[in-house]
Amino acid sequence: MTQSNFLHAVLLRIPVAAAFAGFLLAAGAQAQTPVSQKLPLPTDVMSGSILFASLVGPPDGYAIQVSIHAEFVPGGGFTPRDLQIVLSAPTDPNFEHWVLQGGPDFGWSTGTGLQTGDASTLTLNGEIQQGLPGMSVWNLQIEPVPGSGHNGVTGQFTSGAYFQVDYLPKGEGPGVGYCFGNVCPCGNDDPGAGCSNSTGSGALLAATGLASVASDDLDLVVSGMPAGNIGLVFLGGSTTKLPFGDGLRCVGPGTQGLIRLPGGMASPGGVMSTTTVISTAGLSAGSTWYFQGWYRDPGGPCGSGYNLSNALRIAIIP
């Protein structure tokens, strides 16, 4: 992260037992470029919350990806598998929760020594929710796993533990975008996404993660959909360009036909995600595929009741 994207970090200690608050103040991105923000986990935290704020928040449309590098030494009768971290992510309009546990997520045993592990979220849905002008607040709740028999956490993080947030702009990530909203069926053009829908702009398909068979963390996110409507991502081995509903279909069947990934419903913020795309679709290294989002839009400008996002060309690597 460049100096222009980062002002400084300020840790504010609150003299309350088993509680900690830290605020990371960072300049938001001034252009559509990835921004990373990292917060060291305090070595004296037991149970309680770790807070930090992003100031100024990134532009609308950034995807959010979170990772935690945990180095934890349990104490007393507390085991590494008893530790739970709950992240509250500032998505619009609701806060999503992501739960990490020492056993299934970090792969920790019941040992008593130093435990080290890494875990990353899939891209969180939604856009930044700004509780204050230009600011979004995040919360990590450190607590025992429910049912573990502990009232609090006994142990500590080492100085190498940290929490990291990556803001990924629309269109960033693997793949090359094409089939943006030009010459749309009823003049509903949007050159920055798919053809415009009932929201007044188009839906944007973007990818995050790696297009790698080994990592299998390629995720696809469609933003700008009408809230509460169903949709899906489909893929094929060739390109085309045909009017289709209120949009343009730019993915062709190739030699293997069109493949539909599991569908979903757009969040209140108009976002739908499809995860672990490579294993779900059975894609192999060395192949190239073309992806596009389809979704219902009963109030759309052309009256067909459905529309499409832009498209992505993604080459799959080992």
Do 178 and 311 form a contact (C-beta atoms < 8 A)? yes
CA distance 44 to 63: 31
Q: Is residue 49's pLDDT more than 70?
A: yes
Opening angle at CA 219, ends 168 and 239, nearest 5: 100
DSSP three-state, residue 246: coil
> If you classify domain 3-168 with CATH, what class do you get?
mainly beta
DSSP three-state, residue 3: helix
CA distance 190 to 198: 12
| Range(s) within the chain of domains with CATH label 2.60.40.10 | 176-315
Average pLDDT over residues 129-155: 77
CA distance 157 to 155: 7
pTM for this predicted structure: 0.50
Do 115 and 74 form a contact (C-beta atoms < 8 A)? yes
3-state helix, strand, coil in the chain (%, to 5): 5, 45, 50
The CATH-assigned architecture of domain 176-315 is Sandwich (2.60)
Average pLDDT over residues 245-251: 96
Six-digit token string for 216 = 């299998």
Pairing of strands 48-55, 96-101: unpaired
Q: What is the pLDDT of residues 266-295, one digit of tens each?
A: 999 899 999 899 999 999 988 999 999 999
Six-digit token string for 34 = 């990835």
CA distance 285 to 314: 11
Cis? peptide before 90, omega within 30° of 0: no
| Range(s) within the chain of domains with CATH label 2.60.120 | 3-168
Q: Is residue 10's pLDDT more than 90?
A: no
Q: What is the pLDDT of residue 101?
A: 85
Q: What is the pLDDT of residue 173?
A: 62
